[in-house]
Structures are given as structure tokens and as C-alpha cells.
């Protein structure tokens, strides 16, 4: 069999957990995967235990019974292939827009990681089928709605399992939409015929919500550095002080994230001629507004929340989530480890973080545009105020995004809806939390980009005073794509240019190239 690999890099999947970096490499960078020999041995060993139970006349959930509220029915041998096929077909009930390719690849990798532990009882060829899809770049079509975040991300995972059996639809590595059977044929892959327990093992996990949590943690690590850059630029452009970011002041309240944010901002503002211009006794202002002075406290609290979410993600990455599960000593036991509550809470926490970091960013932007509070800059940073509106409506866009972020900060995890004839009477809604967090991460990127666009103009209007090396590097990076102060121009494309720079990492890279790595 010849596999067409999307990348020359390969992530090995063995008995140990995958890392967040492994997940990012496979989900976003198209890396292939390879099952290790020890994983294949353990998969085969636990499969023998399932086959022993399949021959036992006593009913075993998932092996010889129906599912959920239908678990009381014993299924005879001749119907068990149909049982697994019917399970996957019926549970592939998603609706709505397609889920992003990187999310589907993430959940596929995580399901494969659990299969590789040998705790699910599938055959080695089933695990290999998932590895082959990831390596060839075939991505099953998964839909936005269908998971309650309990008993696993059932519908999303079922759509993937359906494609493995040669049904449903999938996209090829180059984005073409094909029947899954045709996509498999293009790569000389054979559809899997599921045996006892295998359909259940493929759909019973928190993989969708966990994959999105891991991706969000990665994104927020970057965005919180960007938030420090944006805040430092605003402090500089609004003639704020950097004295409040001193390490000894931060040490009086020893939250690690706060110390990190303050240190980043202090380094970004070091050697600023703008800051130095008003640092003497002639400056009569006693304190800056909260949105400037308290930036490290907000961004720091966000960092500490992301650190907690990373801990949750790493614990879940080390888990083998299935029901029933094959224990190390060979027992097959029902359990509740598929409940998504731990992951769902972390997803909701991060949506709150995204909303509040965006909220303080918007307040700083608004200060730049208000002639009563921007310390000598023109109204709305306009070239000819009255004729020109400057960046007035950019702040409206920010405000709309922040308002949306506040709505997305409402927790999904408190909204349990019973299902399966009250057998599944409490669910996590973690998938819903993950979906809104992805939108929140995008919105935060846009809010910070508008602050940076605004602050860059404000800093330039302080000429002939020069900004700090760190913030100045970011201004120059923006100016490579967007012109400086002047008469009004079509603003939407300029905002999108800065969003692209922000999302790509170019703005953080520009600052770090000048002053070294930010924390």
C-alpha cells in the first residue's frame, strides 16, 4: 500500500500520551502519524480479551448488547456486525456547517491515541485505518452540531468512523469533497468492517472538545504576548508611565502570570523617548487609567487561567477514554470517564479570559480616539477632524466584537440537557463550549489587531519623539502592510491586513527580533 503523505514529518503514536505540540503538528501542519510496535502489540492483546467476551453467553455492554437506553437487549452473534455498523450510521447525525479541517484532524489523532493504549479493545487494523487517514490527508466531513459532550463527542466522532467504513463524505488533502469510499480508493485504502465493540470504541471520547482546547491553549499563548505588545503600545502612545510595571511592585502580589505580563511590557517600553519625555517632575498626572495601569493584572490573570487549562488538557491527553474500557488486568468495565465536565469547564474559563482581555483592549483604543483623554492627539486620530473621521468606526468594530465575546463568555457547561430516554441525564456541553471558544479566539485576535493599528498611529503622531525599540519594531511591521497617518482611506482592508499579521505571528516576531523572546 502506498500512502501519500502531507508532510515529510511523522508523529509516532505509542502507549504514552501525545503532547499538545504533537497535536498542533498533526492538526495544523499536516504531519503524518505512525503507530509504534509496542502500541500494536498492546492493541492486539486487549482485542483478544474482547473476542473472549464476545463468545461468552453473558451480555457485555458494547460487545453483545445495544447502547444507551437500549443496553438491555442482548444481541446474537449474527447481528453484531450490523450492530456496530448501525451504531455508527445512526450516530453520524450531525448538522450545520462543516467543522474546520484542523479540528477534525485533532479529534482523529486523539481517538487514535486512545486506541493505541490498548484500552478500547479494537483490532490493530482499525487503529491503522485512522493513522492512514491522517497520513494521507483524508479528512471526514464533520458538522457543527450533534455533540452534547457526554458519552463522548458522539456525532462528530461517528462521522469520522463512518468515513473509515467507506460511507459518508470526506475531503482530500487538496480540499476536494468526495464520497468517503472514493477518497479511500484514491489512496488504495480498504474500508473497515467493524467487529464487536469497535463502533462504540470509535465514538466514545472527549476528543473533539479536547482537540479544540489544545489548539486554543496554543493560540492564547501567542495572543497574550500580543496583548502585552498592544498594551505597551497604548501606554506609550497615550503618554502613560512604565513605572507601574516594576518587578518589585509586581512581587507584592505574586501571581506568576502578572509578573510575566509586567516584565514583557517593561521590556517593550525600555528606552522609549516618548515615555522619557514626560517622566520628570513636570508631569502632574498621579495615576494612569486602569486600562493602562492594570494591564498586567488582567493579562496575568488570563495567563494563569491558560496555565490551568493546559494542565487539564495534559491530564486528558494522558487519559484513555472509552466505555466500557479494557483494564490493564483484562477486565472489561463500564465507567463514566467519557463525561466532558473537566474539559468543558476549562473551555468556558478560556472564553471568559478572551472576553476580558478584549474588553480592556477596547477601552485603551477608545482613549486614543477621545480628544478629552488622549493627551494632545487629534480627535479620532483623524488627519483633518470633521472632514476625516479617522479611526472612529474601527472602535465601533472593536465594540461589536467585545459585545459578542461577552455573550460567548456565558458558560456552556451549566446547560445540561438530558438525552437517551433519561439514561444520559446529565451532559457537559463541552463541544458547544469548544465551538464558541474558537470564535472567541478569532474575535480576540481582531480586537487586539485594531488596538495595535490605533496605537501605531497614535505613536507616530508623537513624532519627533521616537518609540521604544520593541514597540517601534511592531509599528514598522504594521507599516509594511498599512500606510501611516493621513486622510481617510478604505479602512476594512487595513484592519484585515493587521489581523493577518497578528494571526500569523509576525507582530510578536517583530518585537522579539528586536528585544528577545517574550515570556
Q: What residues contact 290, with CB distance under 8 A and at least 6 apart?
A: none
**What's residue 284's pLDDT?**
63
Question: Given this model, what pLDDT does residue 8 score?
Answer: 63
77 pLDDT band, cuts 50/70/90, is confident
**For residues 305-312, average pLDDT:** 98
List CB contacts of 284: < 8 A, sequence separation 6 or more.
none
Scanning 14-123, the segments in alpha helix (DSSP H) are: 20-29, 37-54, 80-91, 101-116
Do residues 424 and 356 make contact, with C-beta atoms less than 8 angstroms apart? Answer: no
Q: Give me the pLDDT at residue 206, please.
A: 92
Could you tell me the CA-to-CA distances from 207 to 33, 163, 202, 203, 498 in Å, in that order?
Answer: 17, 17, 10, 9, 33
Question: How far apart (Å, rounded) are the C-alpha atoms in residues 154 and 287?
Answer: 53
pLDDT score of 377 more than 80 = yes
> Grid coordinates representing 392?
472612529
86-100, 330-344, 471-485 — which is least confidently predicted? 330-344
Catalytic annotation present for 345 = no
Burial of 497 (0-12, 13-18, 19+ CB in 10 A): middle
- The contacts of residue 307 (CB under 8 Å, 6+ apart) are 256, 257
Tally: H helices and E strands in the chain: 20, 9
Beta strands in 95-181 (DSSP E): 95-98, 139-140, 143-145, 169-171, 177-179
Nearest partner of 459 among 305, 295, 275, 318, judged by Cα:
275
Cα–Cα distance for residue pair 93/155, rounded to 1 Å: 6
Model confidence band, residue 299 (pLDDT cutoffs 50, 70, 90): very high
Q: What is the mean pLDDT of residues 242-269?
A: 97
> CB–CB of 100/216 below 8 Å?
no
- Cα 227 to the center of its chain, rounded Å: 17
pLDDT tens-digit readout, 89-117: 999 999 999 999 999 999 999 999 999 99
**Of 77-86, 135-144, 253-262, 279-288, minimum mean pLDDT range:** 279-288
Residue 188, pLDDT > 60, answer yes
The confidence score (pLDDT) of residue 2 equals 35
Mean pLDDT value of segment 338-343: 91
pLDDT given at position 260: 98
- Stretch 459-486: mean pLDDT: 98
Q: Side-chain half-sphere of 83: how many Cα atoms within 13 Å?
A: 22
Share of the chain above pLDDT 90, in %: 81
HSE-up of residue 361 (Cα within 13 Å, Cβ side): 38
pLDDT at 1: 34
Tell me which H or E stretch contains 180.
helix 180-186
Which pLDDT band, with edges at 50, 70 and 90, does 68 fall under? low
Q: Which of 61, 130, 345, 396 is catalytic?
A: 61
Asked whether the predicted pLDDT for residue 231 surpasses 90, the reply is yes
Give burial (CB, 10 Å; 0-12/13-18/19+) of 309. Answer: buried
pLDDT of residue 359: 98
For residue 402, the surrounding DSSP H or E stretch is helix 392-408
Q: What percent of the chain has pLDDT over 70?
A: 97
Residue 64 pLDDT class (50, 70, 90 cuts): confident
Structural domains of the chain in order of their starting residue, each with its CATH number: 10-205 (1.10.275.10), 212-515 (1.20.200.10)
How confident is the model over 340-348, as a mean pLDDT? 95
Residues 439-465 have a mean pLDDT of 98
* pLDDT score, position 4: 41
Task: Tell me the average pLDDT of the chain.
Answer: 93
Give the separation between CA 338 and CA 335, rounded to whole angstroms.
8
Do 354 and 220 contact (CB within 8 A), yes or no?
Answer: yes
Query: What confidence tier does 432 reach under pLDDT thresholds 50, 70, 90?
Result: very high
Specify the DSSP class assigned to residue 388: B
Whether 343 and 430 have beta carbons less than 8 Å apart is answered as yes
* CB proximity list for 497: less than 8 A, separation 6 or greater: 481, 482
What is the pTM (predicted TM-score) of this model? 0.94
Amino acid at each position: 500500500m502506498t500512502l501519500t503523505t502531507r508532510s515529510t514529518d511523522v508523529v509516532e503514536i505509542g502507549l504514552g500520551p501525545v503532547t499538545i505540540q504533537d497535536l498542533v503538528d498533526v492538526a495544523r501542519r499536516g504531519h503524518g502519524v505512525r503507530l509504534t510496535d509496542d502500541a500494536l502489540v498492546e492493541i492486539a492483546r486487549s482485542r483478544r480479551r474482547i473476542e473472549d467476551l464476545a463468545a461468552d453467553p453473558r451480555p457485555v455492554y458494547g460487545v453483545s448488547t445495544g447502547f444507551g437506553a437500549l443496553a438491555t437487549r442482548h444481541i446474537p452473534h449474527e447481528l453484531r456486525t450490523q450492530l456496530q455498523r448501525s451504531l455508527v450510521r445512526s450516530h453520524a447525525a450531525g448538522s450545520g456547517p462543516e467543522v474546520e479541517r484542523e479540528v477534525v484532524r485533532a479529534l482523529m489523532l486523539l481517538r487514535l491515541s486512545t486506541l493505541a493504549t490498548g484500552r478500547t479493545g479494537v483490532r490493530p487494523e482499525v487503529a491503522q485505518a485512522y493513522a492512514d487517514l491522517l497520513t494521507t490527508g483524508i479528512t471526514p466531513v464533520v458538522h457543527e452540531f450533534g455533540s452534547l459532550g457526554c458519552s463522548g463527542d458522539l456525532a462528530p466522532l461517528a462521522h469520522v468512523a463512518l468515513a473509515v467504513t467507506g460511507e459518508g463524505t470526506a475531503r482530500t488533502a487538496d480540499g476536494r469533497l468526495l464520497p468517503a469510499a472514493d477518497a479511500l480508493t484514491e489512496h488504495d485504502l480498504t474500508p473497515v468492517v467493524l467487529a464487536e465493540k469497535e463502533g462504540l470504541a470509535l465514538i466514545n471520547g472527549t476528543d473533539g472538545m479536547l482537540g479544540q482546547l489544545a489548539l486554543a491553549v496554543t493560540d492564547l499563548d501567542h495572543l497574550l504576548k500580543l496583548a502585552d505588545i498592544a498594551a505597551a503600545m497604548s501606554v506609550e502612545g497615550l503618554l502613560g508611565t512604565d513605572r507601574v510595571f516594576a518587578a518589585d511592585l509586581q512581587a507584592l502580589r505574586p501571581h506568576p502570570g502578572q509578573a510575566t505580563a509586567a516584565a514583557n511590557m517593561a521590556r517593550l517600553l525600555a528606552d522609549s523617548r516618548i515615555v522619557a519625555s514626560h517622566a520628570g517632575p513636570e508631569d502632574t498626572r498621579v495615576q494612569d487609567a486602569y486600562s493602562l495601569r492594570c494591564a498586567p493584572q488582567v493579562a496575568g490573570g488570563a495567563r494563569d487561567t491558560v496555565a490551568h487549562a493546559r494542565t487539564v488538557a495534559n491530564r486528558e491527553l494522558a487519559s484513555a477514554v472509552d466505555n466500557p474500557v479494557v483494564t490493564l488486568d483484562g477486565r472489561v468495565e463500564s465507567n463514566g470517564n467519557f463525561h466532558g465536565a473537566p474539559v468543558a469547564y476549562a473551555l468556558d474559563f478560556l472564553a471568559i479570559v478572551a472576553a476580558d482581555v478584549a474588553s480592556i483592549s477596547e477601552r485603551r483604543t477608545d482613549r486614543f480616539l477621545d480628544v478629552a483623554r488622549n493627551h494632545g492627539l487629534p480627535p479620532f486620530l483623524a488627519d483633518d477632524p470633521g472632514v476625516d473621521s479617522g479611526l472612529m468606526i474601527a472602535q465601533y468594530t472593536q465594540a461589536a466584537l467585545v459585545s459578542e465575546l461577552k455573550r460567548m463568555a456565558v458558560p456552556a457547561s451549566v446547560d445540561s440537557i438530558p438525552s437517551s430516554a433519561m439514561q444520559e441525564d446529565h451532559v457537559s456541553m463541552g463541544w458547544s463550549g469548544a465551538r464558541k471558544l474558537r470564535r472567541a479566539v478569532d474575535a480576540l485576535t481582531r480586537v487586539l489587531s485594531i488596538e495595535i493599528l490605533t496605537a501605531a498611529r497614535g505613536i507616530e503622531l508623537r513624532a519627533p519623539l521616537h518609540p521604544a525599540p520593541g514597540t517601534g519594531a511592531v509599528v514598522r511591521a504594521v507599516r509594511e502592510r498599512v500606510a501611516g497617518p493621513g486622510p481617510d482611506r478604505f479602512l476594512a482592508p487595513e484592519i484585515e491586513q493587521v489581523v493577518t499579521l497578528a494571526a500569523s505571528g509576525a507582530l510578536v516576531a517583530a518585537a522579539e527580533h528586536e528585544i528577545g523572546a517574550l515570556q
